[in-house]
Amino acid sequence: MEVRVGVRVEGVVQGVGFRPFVHGLATGLGLSGLVGNDAGGVFIEVEGAPDEVGRFLDGLRTRPPRLAVVERVTTRELAADGRGGFTIVGSDASGERRALVSFDSATCDDCLREMRDPRDRRHGYAFTNCTNCGPRFTIVKDVPYDRPNTTMAGFAMCGPCAAEYEDPGDRRFHAQPVCCPSCGPSLTLRPATGDPLAGAQAMLADGAVLAVKGLGGYHLAARAADDGAVAALRARKHREDKPFAVMVPDLAAARVLCELSEAEEALLTGPRRPIVLARRRPEADLADAVAPGNRDVGVMLPYTPLHHLLVTEPLVLTSGNVSDEPIAHRDDEALSRLGGIADGFLLHDRAIHTRTDDSVVRVFGGRTLPVRRSRGYTPEPVPIAAGRPVLACGAELKNTFCLTRDGRAFVSHHIGDLENHETLRAFEEGIEHFRRLFDIAPELIAYDPHPEYLSTKYALDQDLPSAAVQHHHAHIASCLADNGVDGPVIGVAFDGTGYGTDGTLWGGEFLVADLRDFQRAGHLQPVPLPGGAAAIREPWRMAAAYGVPDDLPVAQRPGWSTVAAMARSRVNAPLTSSMGRLFDAVAAVLGVRDRVNYEGQAAIELEQHADPTERGAYPVSLDGTSEFTVAGGDLLDAVVADMKAGVPVPAIAARFHNAVAALIVTAASRIRTGTGLGTVALSGGVFQNMLLLERAVSGLTGEGFEVLTHHRVPPNDGGISLGQAAVATARG
Ligand SMILES: [Zn+2]
Ligand SMILES: [Zn+2]
């Protein structure tokens, strides 16, 4: 007996070759019926023997196309009509806009083969793509995801491309950005010199800095082995120390630069293609200015056809911006803003709709630990509890926002530091874009209670019920949502600064938290932040705040006595319990760094100095009963004593890291005794410190704790919006 079943497939199922896949699967099993797209995803009707229909449903779930994410398959029985044949029906744009746009995906092997085949009509073509790869999120302007709603709208398909687009048996069936040299985008080089690609490569070989229009924005490129070119790039970009990422032609070249684990290689070669921070080989041929004073280097593989054609040796490929401005993504803005940096421009005429930076990840314990979640990940949703639609506005630095609907949290691309007009505009436009793209009308707005954050001001300007979510609670909730856990847990939130419920600046926090609420179980003893924001830029001020002895080298610098007095009198010196600032103080005392050029620099360099073989640690003790405090000053005293005893800096830096890890274990054990909780969530920017993270996780697991770390969103403030959304959802 024949049966007919109606099937609905939800998730990332449009623009990823799902209908041809369904067509092939059904006809291969001898089933008849139809498949089509609508705004809710893919709808299917299949008819045939019950066993074959069962196999069909299995295949849908277990063998979807490369870029598809099948979130839900629902079925209903229909009356068999015995008509035979299997057809792909037209799109239906009515109804709800629930279909999900895929992330931008690295060029697939089939497309690469065509580009390298001299007989193929796409030989050497820099915009080759298909349903399994290519631009998506960065070019989509509206839904449904169809060519007229992308920045490919202006390119009319030629006959051969249209034939591929219309053929259900073709790899490019309904690939919206499909194109070829005769109908698609093309490259230009300024100044012009014949073939743009050859000209660009010649400029790079000559030591030039080249601006290259990419997928989510402009990059600045220079030969990574060329000291002069990389130093020039650094000077012109006003980026003094922050490491540059390097794009290498292939995995073999990555292995020459870095020691890579299996997990790191899988990330490098996968469809998302983030920058992977990996251990640099000492003998790697990289200019000193690529990643000064860093044992690691950020490396990535080509992810667009243009990269594959352009990159024949390691190139520094860094965001096309000046210092802290957002990455340039429009041609006019790139030409004016990057004109003083780049010697030339490699341009193309496919517009970038949404500015999207490269993602940055590490591998920790064999799993992804995101540092910046953007291109290749956005807009893939993170699953959370269902509830009212929420807009979460994120924090100030490394801002992302997040919109939720039907159990999905759409965490935005990296917006950047909300400190200037450009990033604020990207934030506001991004929210509007996501609302349209995912058809979300938020009923609740979540924000950080810090009164000075632009994201907070934005939230309070909206005509919506609002929910304030304390910064460190948001960090822990972010880690819980990241792991699909509700809590309660012991939350350890260590970062630079966040606004506390008592009006002081928190950042060395031990919480008992679930998604709904939290209690402060303990924290680092507050110290003054002399000069406020100035103390964040100048770590030596934190050494003064901790009152280290006046005979240390750090105390000999100009301004010391003034700042020390400021700290003692508490004038212009708000209190902070920040763990990041304790790292700053130690870095300054050890002479590692007394002034920073980017957020977290002193702590990063302190970690780089630490000797990983050193197992010693300084003693730490907790005082207080209901809300314990930890004396950070004791740790500094121990650091100073070792320094005066002539202990080498790498050993002291390591002992300090080990002490902070031991402190986490001691504090968690105290909280476990009082509450019976056995799970610890680690979040906040300080946990980007791999030495601390590794020591803390091994210490905690050694004491029988279950430990939650981040895998989907960063532990830094880029993950705050997800945490805010999770808390607002739990509160309802
Ligand atoms: Zn492809
Ligand atoms: Zn064409």
Give yes or no: 37 in active site.
Answer: yes
Residue 160 CA, ligand 2 centroid: distance in Å: 6
Contact between residue 700 and residue 490 where contact means Cβ atoms under 8 Å apart: no
Q: Return the C-alpha torsion angle 167, 168, 170, 175, nearest 10.
A: 90
Averaged pLDDT, 588-614 = 94
Query: Which residues sit opposite 410 in a β-bridge?
Result: 403
pLDDT of residue 527: 97
Residue 266 domain-assigned (yes or no): yes
Give residue 278's pLDDT band: very low, low, confident or very high (50, 70, 90).
Answer: very high
- Whether residues 83 and 199 share a domain: the answer is no
Q: How many CB atoms are closer than 10 A to CB 103?
A: 23
- Residue 95: is its pLDDT beyond 50? no
Tokens 């609002």: give the residue. Answer: 466
Residue 305 CA, ligand 1 centroid: distance in Å: 10
Last residue of a domain, one of 73, 88, 103: 88
Q: Which amino acid is at 671?
A: I
473: left (phi over 0), alpha (psi -120 to 50) or beta: alpha
Q: Which ligand is nearest to the CA of 125?
A: 2
CATH number, domain with residue 60: 3.30.70.100
Residue 411 domain-assigned (yes or no): no
From the number of C-beta atoms within 10 Å of its C-beta (0-12, 13-18, 19+), residue 438 rates as buried
Give residue 82's pLDDT band: very low, low, confident or very high (50, 70, 90).
Answer: confident
Query: Nearest CA to 447 among 464, 460, 430?
Result: 460
Q: What is the pLDDT of residues 520-552, one digit of tens each?
A: 999 999 999 999 999 999 999 999 999 999 999
| Peptide bond between residue 274 and the one before it cis (omega within 30 degrees of 0) | no
Averaged pLDDT, 413-427 = 91
Contact between residue 612 and residue 673 where contact means Cβ atoms under 8 Å apart: no
**Residues, CB-to-ion distance under 5 Å, ligand 2:** 158, 161, 180, 183
pLDDT of residue 262: 97
Residue 7 CA, ligand 1 centroid: distance in Å: 27
Residue 712 domain-assigned (yes or no): no
Averaged pLDDT, 254-276 = 97
Pull the structure tokens for residue 242.
């922050």
Q: What percent of the chain has pLDDT over 70?
A: 98
From the number of C-beta atoms within 10 Å of its C-beta (0-12, 13-18, 19+), residue 432 rates as exposed
pLDDT of residue 19: 86
Residue 217 CA, ligand 2 centroid: distance in Å: 24
pLDDT of residue 621: 87
Residue 241 domain-assigned (yes or no): yes
* Catalytic pick among 19, 122, 272, 350: 19
Averaged pLDDT, 356-369 = 97
Q: Which ligand is nearest to the CA of 122?
A: 2
pLDDT of residue 323: 65
pLDDT of residue 96: 44
Residue 175 CA, ligand 1 centroid: distance in Å: 10
Averaged pLDDT, 335-346 = 93
Residue 31 CA, ligand 1 centroid: distance in Å: 28
Residue 461 CA, ligand 1 centroid: distance in Å: 44
- Whether residues 205 and 344 share a domain: the answer is yes
Give residue 311's pLDDT band: very low, low, confident or very high (50, 70, 90).
Answer: very high
Last residue of a domain, one of 88, 107, 126: 88
CATH number, domain with residue 280: 3.90.870.10
Q: What is the pLDDT of residues 622-657, one digit of tens each?
A: 987 789 999 999 999 999 999 999 999 999 999 999
- Whether residues 80 and 205 share a domain: the answer is no
Q: Which ligand is nearest to the CA of 183?
A: 2
Distance between CA atoms of residues 368 and 373, nearest Å: 11
- Whether residues 76 and 198 share a domain: the answer is no
Phi, psi of 437 (to 5 degrees): -60, -40
Distance between CA atoms of residues 313 and 55, nearest Å: 47
Residue 135 CA, ligand 1 centroid: distance in Å: 10
Q: Which ligand is nearest to the CA of 155?
A: 2
Last residue of a domain, one of 348, 383, 410: 348
Q: Which ligand is nearest to the CA of 186?
A: 2
Query: Which residues sit opposite 92 in a β-bridge?
Result: 38
* Catalytic pick among 37, 132, 321, 658: 37
Residue 552 domain-assigned (yes or no): no
Query: Nearest CA to 23 among 98, 99, 89?
Result: 89
Residue 43 CA, ligand 2 centroid: distance in Å: 29
- Residue 93: is its pLDDT beyond 80? no
Residues of the domain holding 62: 3-88
Give residue 92's pLDDT band: very low, low, confident or very high (50, 70, 90).
Answer: low
Residue 587 domain-assigned (yes or no): no
Averaged pLDDT, 315-342 = 84
Instruction: Compute CA 324 distance to the chain's CA centroid, rounded to the nearest angstrom.
Output: 17
Q: Which ligand is nearest to the CA of 181?
A: 2
- Whether residues 217 and 344 share a domain: the answer is yes
pLDDT of residue 117: 98
Report in angstroms the alpha-carbon separations of 717 from 166, 416, 417, 478. 45, 10, 10, 10
Domain count, the chain: 2
Give yes or no: 557 in active site.
Answer: no
- Residue 221: is its pLDDT beyond 60? yes
Q: What is the pLDDT of residues 661-709, one digit of tens each?
A: 999 999 999 999 999 999 999 999 999 999 999 999 999 999 999 999 9
Averaged pLDDT, 359-386 = 96
Averaged pLDDT, 5-12 = 91
pLDDT of residue 267: 97
Contact between residue 36 and residue 90 where contact means Cβ atoms under 8 Å apart: yes
pLDDT of residue 667: 97
Residue 584 domain-assigned (yes or no): no
Distance between CA atoms of residues 112 and 116, nearest Å: 6
Least confident of 8-22, 66-80, 132-146: 8-22
Residue 269 CA, ligand 1 centroid: distance in Å: 14
Residue 240 CA, ligand 1 centroid: distance in Å: 38
> What stretches of 206-330 show up as alpha helix (H) in DSSP?
227-237, 251-257, 262-269, 305-310
- Residue 273: is its pLDDT beyond 80? yes
Pull the structure tokens for residue 469.
């979510």
The pLDDT mean for the chain works out to 94
Residue 639 domain-assigned (yes or no): no
